[in-house]
Amino acid sequence: MNDMMQSRYPFPRNAISLMQRVYKYGLPEVRQELDVWRSMAERMPDEELRKQALASIATKQFHCEGGAIYAVANISQRHILLPLIVAFQTISDYLDNLCDRSTSMDPDDFRLLHQSMLDAVTPDAQPVNYYRLRTEQEDGGYLEALVTTCQQNVSKLPDYDAVFPYVRDLVGLYCDLQVHKHIAPELRESALLNWWSENKYRTPHLQWNEFAAATGSTLGVFMLFLAASGFGLDDTGAKQVYSAYFPHVCCLHIMLDYVIDQEEDRRGGDLNFCNYYDSPDTMYERIEQIVDWARRDVNTIPGTSFHRMIIEGLVALYLSDPKVSEQQEVRTVSRRLMRKGPLTRVFFMVNSRWIRKYMYEH
């Protein structure tokens, strides 16, 4: 990307200016968007669908708040980016609840549900009955409204044509993962390994669990939305953004999520990608390596300092979670990662705690 394009990126220059934008615009505007979707979810005719939609908003609001960082990175376009990111993440969280706590174990059902995510990023796609293969049907138009909100907003992004192939690729991988990880427990691991064998050419240096983790993040999609929001992006630039985020930034995001959920997943019998390391030491070494790879990758695109803040913010956000203090092995990994991190990581650790306080009070 040339110097002129670099100068057109209005990213916040430091951690303080980033957090000012998050507090002034990101958090309150995410709340406003989610209030609209919550109100619609409350009117769902089907009790099970209503329950899972409301639970996904109540327990996963922080996913949208994290995604909002990409909206406030371009203040002048946040009226497009923020509703888009919130709607897309809300689809992801809602479907995760439907599949994770499902009345169905049918992979075809999961595949059809997740077709909504592919349609959401495809402006001319026609929504279908995504519930056709399950008992629950009546959502009052909730999922279709989320899909069309995404379509309307991606259509407003000036450079969306350039990023579209890369967005579709990431969303396709995400959908594959969600199908394989939610089928019958005795079938999950073999399905994931077979899927990895078809895709390991993409990331031959990653273990299968790390590749799977990388496909489970929406951050690469959000960054491509941001990159398409008016910087004169072409295919070369779009490919650079894609490669800067996938696989390493995306992998770091989801591996940290699994790190803090180990005990919870153990109790619930849920799949956790951290369980496939030989020891906590190995897990720490691999995560630290992924952090290093992610830092290296974001040097190739404009706004490197912004993307570095994203990386440090991810580490701080997850390691400041209250669940860390409840798990001895996780506490050890957390201390080691914090010791090796820059001062920015400590700054975001403090802010992550403030954000959780904000969520609790609001």
List Cα–Cα distances, 354 to 19, 25, 317, 349, in angstroms. Answer: 11, 16, 11, 9
Residue-wise pLDDT for 184-193, tens only, equals 889 999 999 9
pLDDT at position 360 = 47
Gap between the Cα atoms of 172 and 318, Å rounded: 26
Residue 225: how many other CB atoms lie within 10 Å: 28
Please report the DSSP string for 333-346 in residue order. HHHHHHHHS-HHHH
Gap between the Cα atoms of 318 and 256, Å rounded: 6
Q: How confident is residue 340, by pLDDT bands cut at 50, 70 and 90?
A: low
- Which range, of 55-59, 97-101, 158-162, averages the lowest pLDDT? 97-101
pLDDT at 355 over 70: no
Produce one character per residue of 309-334: b if its CB has 16 or more CB atoms within 10 Å, e if not. bbbbbbbbbbbbbeebeebebbeebb
Gap between the Cα atoms of 173 and 242, Å rounded: 13
Q: How confident is residue 315, by pLDDT bands cut at 50, 70 and 90?
A: confident
pLDDT at position 322 = 66
pLDDT at 7 over 60: no
Q: Looking at per-residue confidence, does 136 or 331 come out higher?
A: 136
Angle between helices 248-260 and 208-215 (to 10 degrees): 100
Average pLDDT of 321-342?
Answer: 67
Residue-wise pLDDT for 98-127, tens only, equals 998 777 889 999 999 999 999 999 999 999
Rounded to the nearest 5°, which phi and psi values hold at 129? -80, 95
Q: Where are the domains of the chain?
A: 11-156, 157-362
pLDDT at 359 over 60: no
pLDDT at position 53 = 97
Residue-wise pLDDT for 137-151, tens only, equals 999 999 999 999 999
Gap between the Cα atoms of 27 and 68, Å rounded: 8
Q: Are 227 and 233 in contact (CB under 8 A)?
A: yes
CB-count burial class (<10 Å; 0-12, 13-18, 19+) for 132: exposed
List Cα–Cα distances, 50 to 54, 57, 209, 325, in angstroms. Answer: 6, 11, 32, 33
Q: Are 66 and 22 in contact (CB under 8 A)?
A: no
Q: How confident is residue 348, by pLDDT bands cut at 50, 70 and 90?
A: low
The pLDDT > 70 percentage for the chain reads 87
Quick one: tokens of 139?
A: 């959502």
pLDDT at position 250 = 98
The reported pTM is 0.92
pLDDT at position 324 = 65
pLDDT at 211 over 70: yes
pLDDT at 267 over 90: no
pLDDT at position 4 = 37
